[in-house]
Amino acid sequence: MTIPDPDPSAVAEFWTRARGAILAAEPGLQVPVRPPSAWGFGATPAHADALLDLVLEGTKTGTSSDAREYEEGDDPLPVQGQFDIVLDGAGHPRAVILNTHVETVPFHAVDDDHARAEGEGDRSLAHWRDVHQRYFSTYAAHDHGFSPDMPVVTERFRVVYR
């Protein structure tokens, strides 16, 4: 089972509240009027909820994705300064994150600091590699397969609204 698509009116309502709170807390921040992309971490509702919990408690401050998914799909590559609405496993908006750093590197070049920022398991690079190799192999929307040289988009973010 995948994460359900969010209700557009719920996202718009959430963004209105979030945007006002963000502007009040950080008046110099350039916050778009239109809602940003809304998505959930992981591939299943349970995974989305578990990863969202890590985000909300401050343990998860990074994420990564297969760069080839962007080449083959409709979504643009993430960029620094980008806002995103994070959904729970039921597709409800729960938080807004702001990308503070985005870089594309080969899978084998992801480092200890990024693995720790992802906040999963024991937060080690070995755990990150094991989990992400399985994830990228299982849930790829393309047929390129896994490779240690495959491009991975690494993002660092901070929560700006919950």
In the chain, the domains with their CATH numbers are 8-161 (3.10.400.10)
Report the pLDDT value the prediction gives residue 159, as an integer from 0 to 100: 98
Report the pLDDT value the prediction gives residue 144, as an integer from 0 to 100: 74
Give the HSE-up count for residue 47: Cα atoms under 13 Å, Cβ half-sphere: 15
Question: Which stretches does DSSP call E strand in the chain?
Answer: 38-39, 62-66, 83-87, 93-106, 151-161
Please name every residue paired with 62 in a beta bridge, in sequence order, or none if there are none.
Answer: 156
Q: Are 62 and 125 in contact (CB under 8 A)?
A: no
Q: Are 49 and 137 in contact (CB under 8 A)?
A: no
Q: What is the pLDDT of residues 32-84, one digit of tens each?
A: 999 999 999 998 999 999 999 999 999 999 999 999 988 877 889 999 999 99
Report the pLDDT value the prediction gives residue 35, as an integer from 0 to 100: 98
Average pLDDT over residues 80-103: 98
Q: How confident is the model at residue 12 (pLDDT cuts 50, 70, 90)?
A: very high
Report the pLDDT value the prediction gives residue 142, as an integer from 0 to 100: 64
Please name every residue paired with 105 in a beta bridge, in sequence order, or none if there are none.
Answer: 152
pLDDT at 117 over 70: yes
